Amino acid sequence: MRKVLAIATAAVLMISAGPALAQTPTPTPTPTPTGQDGGDDDLVIDLEGGRSSALPIIIPVMPTNAVTGTPAGSTDALGRQLSAIIDDDLRNTGLFKTVGPNAARPIGYAEVNAPDYGSWDAYASQALVQGYVRANGNGTLTIGCYVYDVASRRQLIREGFVVQPSEWRRAAHKCADAIYTRLTGDGPYFDSQIVYVSETGPKNRRIKRLAIMDQDGANHRFLTNGQRIVLTPRFSPDQRQIVYMGYENKRPAIYVHDIAARTSRLLVPDVNLNFAPRFSPDGRWILFSMAKAGNTDLYRIAAGGGAAQQLTTSPGIDTGGSYSPDGSKIVFESDRGGTQQLYVMDGNGGNQHRISFGGGRYATPSWSPRGDLIAYTRTGGGAFRIGVMSPAGGGERTLTESWGDEGPSWAPNGRVLMFFRAASGSGRPDLWSVDLSGHSRRIPTPLDGSDPSWGPIRP
Amino acid sequence: MAKILTSMVLGVALIATAGCTKKRPETVLPPGDGPVSNGGDTGSGDADTSPLNEQFRREVASDTIHFAFDQYDIDPQSRAILDSQAAWLRAHPNTRVTIEGHCDERGTREYNLALGDRRANATKNYLAAQGVSPARITTISYGKERPVALGSDDQSWAANRRAVTIVIN
C-alpha cells in the first residue's frame, strides 16, 4: 500500500465570499530579537523567551454547518476534539497560553468568517482560532482553520483541509502547524510521527518492540512482536522504511523494515557486529557502525544493500554517525582521544576533527534538520544530559539533566528534541520532548519507551 | 519544506466546496503481530542451561569475568578464571563457545554495544592465546540490554560489566 497523503491542501471553503477573497496571506514574520516586544501589530512570539512570554490564544470549539454522522464520529463531536488537539499541540510547546474549547465561549457557524472581536476582548488574548467542520457528500471532511489577531482585528490565517475521516486528527495537526509557523516563524512539526522502542518486562529481560505513533502519542501501533531485542529504529526520509538493529537467532544485525509491506530485510549480511544505523538525508545511504575484533568503525552502505564502504579507520570506538542535512558531513562519537567525544568529518571520511571539549563524555550526536545545531547526550558526574552545540564546536547549551537522559532526535523543524529518560533503579524509560527554550514534557506511551526517532513532516 | 507547504496551502484560497483527495484508509497492525519472528530470541543473557554448559560451569572457576568501568582489559583475577576455562576447552576439543560481552547501564546504548564487543573479543583473544582455537569461539555483545544485577548502584554495575563464556555444543 503506497504511502499517500490523505490530507489535501484544499481549496478553502468560504462561508461568505466577497471581502475575504481580497485578503491575501501575509508573509511569515521573522521573530523579534530576544527581550524585545514586537511593538508593531504583528503577532510574534519571542522565541528565546520560552514560557515567560507565552502567547495567549483562544481556541473555541469548531462549529459545524450541520450535525452529521461520519466514520470518525458526528461533526459536532469532531469539532470539539479538533479544537482540543490544536489546544494540546500549541500548549505543549510551552510557547502558547491557551484558552481551550472548555474555557472559550462557543461560536456559531456564521461567526467563523466574521469574528465578533469585541466579545473576545474580555479574554485578554491576542490570537483567536475559529475553525469549522463540514461533512462532504463524497465522504470526506473539510476542516477550516481561520486565525485572527484580536488586537489588530485582522485575519492571520485562512486555510482548509480536506481529509478522509480516518485521518481527521491530521487536519488538527495541520491547523496547529499553520498557527505555530505563522506565529513563531519556525517550521511545522505537529503532523509527524515517532518510531520508538516500546518496552516492558523485568529489567534483566526486557521485551522490546518497535512501535510507531503520531507525534502526540495517538494512533499507536506495534511493528514487531517482541520475540527478539530491537534497538535504535530510524525513519527513512520518505517515511516508508525504518532501519533498526535487531537480535535474530543470537545474531545482532541491521534490518530495514517496510512499513506498508510489514516485512523486514537484513541489510548487512556480515558476521561482525553491526549497529547504530541511520539514513542519509537523500535516503540513498545508510550509515552504520561495524565492530571487528573489538574495533568499531563507521561505514555506509546503499539503502538497498550492497558492499559496505569504510569511512573511519581509527583504533577505537567510532559510532553514532549522523549526516548533516545536505549530506555533505557526518558527526559521530569516538573514544580515540581517551573518552567519548564528538567529531565531524566529510561524507567520504575525510577531514576528521574533534568538536567537543567539555568535561565528561559526549555521545549519540544528531545533526539538526535545520543544520545549525548538533544535539548530543553528555554523561558525567552521575547524570545524563541532553545538550546542543554548534557544528563547528562551541555554543554549548544543556537542555535537560537527570539520572538517565539519552538519545536525542530532532523534530522536523529543528527546534524540538525527543529523547528517553531512564529511571534509576528500575531502569524504566519514558519518552520526553524538550524545546530549545528548555520547556520539556513527557510523551505518553502505552508501555515504557526508549530510542525515539522523529520522522519528517508528513506530506 | 515547511515554507513550501504553507504557501501551497495559502495559494489556493478559492471559493470551492470541493474535496480533493481521497486515499487509502491505512490498516492498523494489531499489537503482537510482527514481521520477522522466525526463531525468536529475547537474548540469552546468562540463561543457557544445556547439560554440557552446566558441566562446564561446574568444572571451571567461573564462566564469568568482570571489568572496570569503561574498561576491557583482563585483570589477574580474570586471568585465573580464563585459564581454567581454557584448560577445560582444551580437554573438550569438540566443543564450541559463545562469549557474551555485557556492560553496565551508565554508558550510552550504542557505545555499550561496541564496549561489550571489546570485552567479548578481549576474552576470546585471551582464550586463544591459551591454545583454544579462535574458530571455536564466537562473540556477541548485548551492550546494556541484559544485566544480571538489577540495582542502580556500584555493586550492581560491577556485576553487570562482564563477559560470559557459554558452551554451545
The CATH number linked to A224 is 2.120.10.30
| Residue-wise pLDDT tens digits, A111-170 | 999 999 999 998 889 999 999 999 999 999 999 999 999 999 999 999 999 999 999 999
Clarify whether residues A148 and A260 are in a common domain: no
CB pairs under 8 A between A and B: 252
Residue B87 lies in a domain: yes
Instruction: With beta carbons under 8 A apart, name residues in chain A contacting B24.
Output: 1-2, 4, 6
Find out whether A305 and B131 touch, Cβ atoms under 8 Å.
Answer: no
Q: Which residues have CB under 8 Å from A373's CB, separation 6+?
A: A388, A389, A390, A391, A414, A436
User: Residue B66's domain spans which residues?
Assistant: 51-167
Residue A3 lies in a domain: no
Clarify whether residues A203 and A180 are in a common domain: no
| Residue-wise pLDDT tens digits, B51-94 | 999 999 999 999 999 999 999 999 999 999 999 999 999 999 99
Clarify whether residues A91 and A159 are in a common domain: yes
**What's A94's DSSP letter?**
T
| Cβ distance of B110 and A21 shorter than 8 Å | no
Distance from CA of B101 to the nearest CA of A (A): 11
Instruction: Write down the residue that cell numbers 454547518 correspond to.
Output: A65
Give the residue from A184, A200, A217 where a domain finishes. A184
Residue A329 pLDDT exceeds 50: yes
Residue type for position B153: D
Give the residue from A125, A155, A184 where a domain finishes. A184
Q: How far apart are CA A346 and CA A9, in angstroms?
A: 38
Q: Output the pLDDT for position A370.
A: 97
Q: Output the pLDDT for position A22.
A: 27
Clarify whether residues A124 and A246 are in a common domain: no
Looking at the 3D structure of chain B, how many domains does it have? 1
Residue B60 lies in a domain: yes
CB atoms within 10 A of CB A360: 17
Residue B33 pLDDT exceeds 70: no
Residue B105 pLDDT exceeds 90: yes
Residue type for position A344: V
Find out whether B124 and B86 touch, Cβ atoms under 8 Å.
Answer: no
Q: Is B118 on the interface with A (CB under 8 A)?
A: yes
Q: Which residues have CB under 8 Å from B101's CB, separation 6+?
A: B115, B116, B117, B118, B119, B120, B121, B123, B139, B140, B141, B142, B163
For residues A438 and A25, which has the higher predicted lDDT (pLDDT)? A438
Strand partners, A228: B41
Instruction: Write down the residue that cell numbers 549519540 correspond to.
Output: A364
Instruction: Write down the residue that cell numbers 540469552 correspond to.
Output: B44
Residue B31 lies in a domain: no
Considering CB atoms only, which of B10, B17, B21 is closest to A6?
A: B21
CATH number at residue B153: 3.30.1330.60
Residue A101 pLDDT exceeds 80: yes
Strand partners, A286: A279, A301
Q: How far apart are CA A358 and CA A344, in angstroms?
A: 16
For residues B48 and B130, which has the higher predicted lDDT (pLDDT)? B130
Clarify whether residues A110 and A210 are in a common domain: no
User: Residue A305's domain spans which residues?
Assistant: 192-457
**What's A451's DSSP letter?**
E
Residue B3 pLDDT exceeds 80: no
- Mean pLDDT of all residues in chain B? 80
- pLDDT band of residue B22 (cuts 50, 70, 90) is very low
Find out whether A244 and A451 touch, Cβ atoms under 8 Å.
Answer: no
The mean per-residue pLDDT over the stretch B115-134 comes to: 98
Strands (E), A284-351: 285-292, 295-302, 309-310, 318-323, 329-334, 341-346
Clarify whether residues A101 and A233 are in a common domain: no
Taking the alpha carbons of A74, A77, A82, A83 in that order, is the dihedral positive or negative?
positive
Interface ipTM > 0.95: no
Q: How far apart are CA B100 and CA B143, in angstroms?
A: 9
Find out whether A173 and A215 touch, Cβ atoms under 8 Å.
Answer: yes
**What's A373's DSSP letter?**
-
| Residue-wise pLDDT tens digits, A257-306 | 999 999 999 999 888 899 999 999 999 999 999 999 889 999 999 999 99
Residue A1 lies in a domain: no
- pLDDT band of residue A42 (cuts 50, 70, 90) is low
Phi, psi of A119 (to 5 degrees): -70, -15
| Cβ distance of A229 and B106 shorter than 8 Å | no
Helix (H, G, I), strand (E, B) or coil at A339: coil
Q: How far apart are CA A207 and CA A199, in angstroms?
A: 6
- pLDDT band of residue B15 (cuts 50, 70, 90) is very low
Instruction: With beta carbons under 8 A apart, name residues in chain A contacting B113.
Output: 231, 245, 252, 273, 275-276, 291, 319
Closest CA in chain A for residue B72: A294
Residue A279 lies in a domain: yes
Q: Is B135 on the interface with A (CB under 8 A)?
A: no
CATH number at residue A21: 3.40.50.10070
Find out whether A336 and A315 touch, Cβ atoms under 8 Å.
Answer: yes
Closest CA in chain A for residue B142: A252
Instruction: With beta carbons under 8 A apart, name residues in chain B contacting A263.
Output: 35-36
| Cβ distance of B111 and A340 shorter than 8 Å | yes
pTM assigned to the model = 0.86
Helix ranges restricted to H, A300-432: none
DSSP string over B129-158? HTT--GGGEEEEEEETSS-SS-SSSHHHHH
Helix (H, G, I), strand (E, B) or coil at A24: coil
Q: Is B60 on the interface with A (CB under 8 A)?
A: no
Instruction: With beta carbons under 8 A apart, name residues in chain B contacting A315.
Output: none
CB atoms within 10 A of CB A165: 16
| Cβ distance of A249 and B37 shorter than 8 Å | no
Q: Output the pLDDT for position B26.
A: 34
Clarify whether residues A154 and A231 are in a common domain: no
